[in-house]
Structure 1
Amino acid sequence: MARAATTTDAFNAVAEPRRREILDALARGESTVNALVERLGVAQPVVSKHLRVLREVGLVQVRDEGRQRIYRLDPGPLRAVYDWVKDYERLWEERFELLDTVLEELKDRQEGQE
């Protein structure tokens, strides 16, 4: 089975940990490639490659400022990821509530034995 291109959508783009690190960095504000290289501690070609993928899916916008290119996060395409994940939020909440119940029961038993 052929592997889906990482540039097809936000899901594939954020599947790569280094790209998520870049998105996290850009969520704090605009940045140049060199600043991202310094912050992430990786080679410039690696950062540039991931920025290209993020630009192609629309997660990152770029503008020229003099001789520098300034990158910023465009969270719009993340909406599809959020919409998909939020459906699981109810499941997580239910499981945490069950865990809270079990922990309370264990605590009550332990206090009863003292």
Structure 2
Amino acid sequence: MSQAVDISPLSDVFYALADPTRRAIVSVLGRGPETVSALAAPFTMALPSFMKHLQVLERSGLIRSRKTGRVRTCELVPQPLSDAQQWLADQRAMWEARTDRLAALVEALHQEEQSDAE
């Protein structure tokens, strides 16, 4: 069984990833660090609106930024994504086990029904 994951940070990660703009930012940062200007360039929104997206991503722990002079650079922090992936894997395993048990029960009932009919 995997380690327990604190749900509060996990909720922040899923909230951050719920927005397509933020998912696009995470995808870009998956290739390496980028300046805020380079990240913002493909989006048709005002810079203050874009910065709000970056703030949500930083609060969730998915990215971190550093300022060198007048240039702010962002980079991806992979651990929160790993935590979310592990939580999803745990949920999938649990539900697969439940559906397997349900399928076995249905099959047993079907077999019992067939033997009663004979």
TM bucket (normalised to shorter chain) is 0.5 to 0.7
Q: Specify the alignment match of 1:18 in structure 2.
A: 21
Is 1:82 aligned with 2:85? yes
Q: Hey, what's the Cα distance between the residues in 2 that align with 1:14 and 1:68?
A: 25
4+ residue segments displaced more than 2 Å? 39-43, 84-91
**From 66, 71, 79, the counterpart of 2:69:** 66
Q: Hey, what's the Cα distance between the residues in 2 that align with 1:41 and 1:31?
A: 18
Counting only pairs closer than 5 Å after superposition, residues 1-114 of structure 1 correspond to structure 2 as: 9-87=12-90, 88=92
Tell me the SS of whatever aligns to 1:9: helix
Conserved? CA contact 1:33–1:44, under 8 Å: no
Q: Hey, what's the Cα distance between the residues in 1 that align with 2:71 and 2:89?
A: 37
Q: Hey, what's the Cα distance between the residues in 1 that align with 2:28 and 2:72?
A: 16
Q: Which moved more, 1:77-86 or 1:19-28?
A: 77-86
TM-score (norm 2): 0.62
Deviation for aligned residue 1:41: 4.2
Distance 1:40 1:27, change over 3 A: farther
Q: Specify the alignment match of 1:4 in structure 2.
A: none
Question: Which letter maps to 2:75?
Answer: R
TM-score (norm 1): 0.64
Q: Hey, what's the Cα distance between the residues in 1 that align with 2:64 and 2:58?
A: 6
Which has the greater radius of gyration? Answer: 2
Question: Which letter maps to 1:31?
Answer: E
Question: Which letter maps to 1:46?
Answer: S
Tell me the SS of whatever aligns to 2:29: helix
**How many residue pairs are counted as aligned between the two chains?**
85
Q: Hey, what's the Cα distance between the residues in 2 that align with 1:41 and 1:53?
A: 18
Question: Which letter maps to 1:9?
Answer: D
Query: Structure 2: which 5+ residue stretches go unaligned?
Result: 1-10, 97-118
